[in-house]
Amino acid sequence: SRFVMTAAAQMGPIARAETRADCVKRLVEMMREAKARGSELVVFPELALTTFFPRWMIEDEAELDSFYETEMPSAQTMPLFDEAKKLGVGFYLGFAELVVENGVKRRYNTSILVDRTGNIVGKYRKVHLPGTSEPIPGRVLHHLEKRYFEPGDLGFPVWRAFGGVMGMCICNDRRWPEVYRVMGLQAVDMVMLGYNTPFDHVGEVAMDALSLFHNHLSMQAGAYQNATWVVGTAKCGNEEGSKMLGQSVIIAPSGEIVAQSVTVEDEVITAKCDLDMGKRYRETIFDFARHRRPEHYGLIVER
């Protein structure tokens, strides 16, 4: 067995006025709790350093830029890296990333994987960007990820870390089977992801009523069908009038939920994850080499 003591550190709402220092303080506090409960890896949410700003049309560029990180770690986020190193705890962290390439600003919805010595070992940029690039008339709260980010350009790599093969994705990515399968084909042991999901994200009552079900359905299916652990961490609660799902989870390769949050506030949940558990599925029902028939899957990459 290869055990990784894992924590999902869910966050309650982040107010628009909250500073990076405020957020980092909350993250550090949860990291300490996770360590006290035996964890060596902590999964934080998507956009864990700011409020979920894509809900607003922001026309002032300097204001928009203020939500992005231009370096990682920065003076403001360094305390989190220092704490990680001190405690010997690694982490997944989501944040908005701004890079300037040939004088052009590029914006990504990004996550990083940091090892137990405080070093960044992996970076992922969100591929599936939901919502719209223009505000929808009549709505007070929008979902403008297509305006504020460009699709990630790094694919779905995996990293050898924490004694296994680790993968990352972000929020809406968790609803797409290809995401897990691309990592599953690389023998991923654990997929980490953070999410910000408003209860009214579809805008269609019958579907929105199933938001919590669809949240778990996607991640449990991804875990089972690809023989991997999935750790999904929410930012949740009432954030500036947008009510967002909690129910952060740690899911085994069986598809079973082994830990789940019960609040919509800052809350740490933990599980002892045996990375060898995936083998049971990978060597039987989901032995890809023996049972997959990729010659019939061409359409998936053609359209």
| Residue selected from 51, 77, 197, 228 as contacting ligand CDT according to rule CB under 6 A | 197
Cα separation, 16 vs 6, in Å, equals 29
Contact pick of 131, 167, 222, 237 for ligand CDT (by CB under 6 A): 131
> Least distance (Å) from ligand CDT to the CB of residue 169?
10
Minimum separation from the CB atom of position 244 to ligand CDT (A): 9
According to the binding rule CB under 6 A, does residue 130 interact with ligand CDT?
yes
CB of 195 to ligand CDT, least distance (A): 5
Q: Is 240 a catalytic residue?
A: no
Does 171 qualify as catalytic in the annotation?
yes
Cα 254 to chain centroid distance, Å, stands at: 20
Confirm or reject binding of residue 177 to ligand CDT (CB under 6 A): no
Binding range to ligand CDT, per CB under 6 A, among 10-18, 169-177, 250-258, 289-297: 169-177
Say how far apart CA 271 and CA 252 lie, in whole Å: 10
Q: Which stretch binds ligand CDT (CB under 6 A): 196-204, 234-242, 262-270, 286-294?
A: 196-204
Of 208, 215, 204, 209, nearest in space to 248 by CA: 215
Q: d(Cα 251, Cα 230) in Å, to the nearest integer?
A: 5
Q: For this structure, is 236 an active site residue? A: no
* Among positions 196, 226, 233, 247, the unique one binding ligand CDT when judged by CB under 6 A: 196
Nearest distance in Å: CB 227, ligand CDT: 24
- Find the helix or strand (DSSP H, E) in which 193 lies: strand 190-195
Helices 78-87 and 20-36: angle between axes, nearest 10 degrees:
10
36 to 86, 97, 121, 226: CA distances (angstroms): 13, 31, 24, 31
Q: Can you tell me the distance from the alpha carbon of 151 to that of 135, in angstroms, rounded to the nearest whole number?
A: 19
Smaller CB separation from ligand CDT, 56 or 281: 56
β-pair partners for 112:
93, 123
CB 246 within 8 A of CB 235: no
Whichever of 164 and 194 has its CB closer to ligand CDT, that residue is 194
Stretch that binds ligand CDT, among 149-157, 167-175, 226-234, 267-275 (CB under 6 A): 167-175
Residues forming the active site: 46, 126, 171
Q: Which residues bind ligand CDT (CB under 6 A)?
A: 46, 130-131, 143, 171-172, 175, 195-197, 201
